[in-house]
Each structure stands twice: as C-alpha cells, then as structure tokens.
Amino acid sequence: MIKSAAEIALLAEAGSLLAAVFHALGQLGLEGRSTLEINDFVERMIVHELQARPASKGQYGFPYVLNASIDDVVCHGVPSEDDVLRRGQIVNLDITLEKHGYIADSSTTFLVGEVAYPARRLVSAAYNALWKGIAAVRPGARLGDIGHAIAHYARAHGYSVVKEYCGHGIGREMHEEPQILHYGRPGTGLELEEGMVFTIEPMLNQGKAAIRSAPDQWPVYTRDGKLSAQFEHTVAVTRTGVRVLTLRPGETPQCALG
C-alpha cells in the first residue's frame, strides 16, 4: 500500500502522460463524434504517440480503452458508434494508462457545445467536490475526512453523492487497497501515511443518489433519470500534504499542494 519514492516517480510519469490525453481531448471538439470514435482516438494516442498501454482494455474482459458516460449515465458507459455526442450533453470520459508497469487513472466530465446552466452547475460542483476531497489529504488525516469533505460540499449545493462506487488504491494494479469512500465522518477510517497513492473520484447526481444498472453494471444510470457528473484524479500522500499525479496542463489546483 505504501509506495517508494521511485514507485511514485513512475506513477507520476504515467499520470503526466494521462494528463496529456485529457488535454488533447479538450482540444479535439467532441460534438458530432461518436464515443467509439473518441475511444479509438485515445487508444491511438496512448499506444502510438505515448508508447504506453491503455490499462482498461482487457480489464475484466472490457474491450475498450475508456468509459464514456453521457448525461444520466453515472459510470461504466460503453463506447458505441451509435452514441454520437450532441450539443447540450455532458459526457464523462474515464481513462487509465500504464507506463513501465504502473497505472494512472483519471476522468473528466466534458461539456458538449452550449450546455444549459443546470448541467453546467452540476459539472462545476462535481469538479469542486473532487478538490474538496483532495484538500483533505495529508499525513495523519483519515479516510473519513476525505469523504466528509466531498459529501458536505455536495449536500450544501443541493446534490447527492453516489455511494456504490468509490476511489481506490492504485499502483501496479488498477484496484488496490484502500477504498476511498466519497462520504464519511471526519476523524474516522484509516490514517493516511506518506507514500499512499489512490484515486478520488466522486460522482454527484442532480437528483437522488439511487442508481440502476444491468446485471453486469455496464452501464450504470441514475434511477430518476437526472444528470450525473464525475471527476477523478490520482493522488499521492506526501510528507507535507498531497501531490496530484494526473494534474493536467493548464489546470489550476484548487487547494495547496505539498
């Protein structure tokens, strides 16, 4: 669970490459593109340009390199040539990348063209909730502090937090211990130590937190049909605070980094 400085350097390299993928997607223009076309763009960039491996491909039998979750899809959206992104939609793209045996994991909810204010407000709140969680990370803090910071912010802004899915430790494996819940009580849970590396990835719903899904959980929807948004970063606990390993070019941290 505790990573060495050398391991964190390798995770940071993977994170930097993954950040470049998201930067490229931000420049691509998503409107009018199918989610399968976006999947193929990302795969080409990871494999041919970055000389890395899309870690999601083949994981649990999944044949694609990303999840594309549109509007009321909470997570696990499957790329399809039939899902062509339209103006006014929101779409979460969740991508993993492995380099030198170490994996980074991140996601962003993109606005497709002109998007109505309620959707933009949700997306902004999901991003801010992520950073509230990141700001709680430091040696000596508890996992419950992260979850409380996220859920408190979400509730204060009128949103609910999905409880069935959580962040996770990450390293040579995509899913390691500990689990990072996006709700909790401050001062409870595992104590954070320097060298821990994990994802924080809250999913906020416009309506109730309840979800529905097919038996194989591909994809997962809000039960009430309202919108859902998510953001995710891979972070490391440092001696003085937190380092965001997947910070993107031009992205301004919303908390002090240590």
Mean pLDDT over 227-256 rounds to 96
Tell me what percent of the residues of the chain surpass a pLDDT of 70.
100
Residue 133, amino acid = G
Q: Is residue 20 left, alpha or beta, with left meaning phi > 0 and alpha meaning psi from -120 to 50?
A: alpha
**Residue-level pLDDT at 61:** 85
Residue 145 has pLDDT above 90, yes or no: yes
Residue 206 has pLDDT above 80, yes or no: yes
Sign of CA dihedral 34, 219, 205, 243: negative
Residue 116 has pLDDT above 80, yes or no: yes
Mean pLDDT over 114-125 rounds to 98
Helix (H, G, I), strand (E, B) or coil at 202: coil
Please report which residue ranges of the chain form alpha helices under DSSP H: 5-28, 35-44, 117-135, 143-156
Identify the CA nearest to 18 among candidates 130, 93, 77, 123.
93
Phi, psi of 201 (to 5 degrees): -150, 60
Q: Within 10 Å of residue 85's Cβ, how many Cβ atoms?
A: 22
Lowest mean pLDDT among 38-52, 117-131, 152-166, 207-221: 207-221
Q: Within 10 Å of residue 165's Cβ, how many Cβ atoms?
A: 19
Helix (H, G, I), strand (E, B) or coil at 106: strand
Q: Is residue 88 left, alpha or beta, with left meaning phi > 0 and alpha meaning psi from -120 to 50?
A: left
Mean pLDDT over 178-185 rounds to 98
**Residue-level pLDDT at 215:** 77
The answer to whether the beta carbons of residues 163 and 154 sit under 8 Å apart is no
Q: Where are the beta strands (DSSP E) in the chain?
A: 66-70, 73-75, 90-99, 102-111, 160-161, 167-169, 176-180, 197-200, 203-205, 211-213, 220-222, 228-230, 233-237, 242-244
Q: Which residue has the higher pLDDT, 120 or 216?
A: 120
Band the pLDDT of 127: cuts 50, 70, 90: very high
**Could you give the angle at the alpha carbon of 211 between the alpha carbons of 131 and 181, nearest 5°?**
35
Residue 214 has pLDDT above 90, yes or no: no
Round the average pLDDT of the chain to a whole number and report it: 97
Distance CA 199, CA 210 (A): 22
pLDDT in tens, 46-86: 999 999 999 999 988 899 999 999 999 999 999 999 999 99
Mean pLDDT over 87-96 rounds to 98
**Residue-level pLDDT at 216:** 76
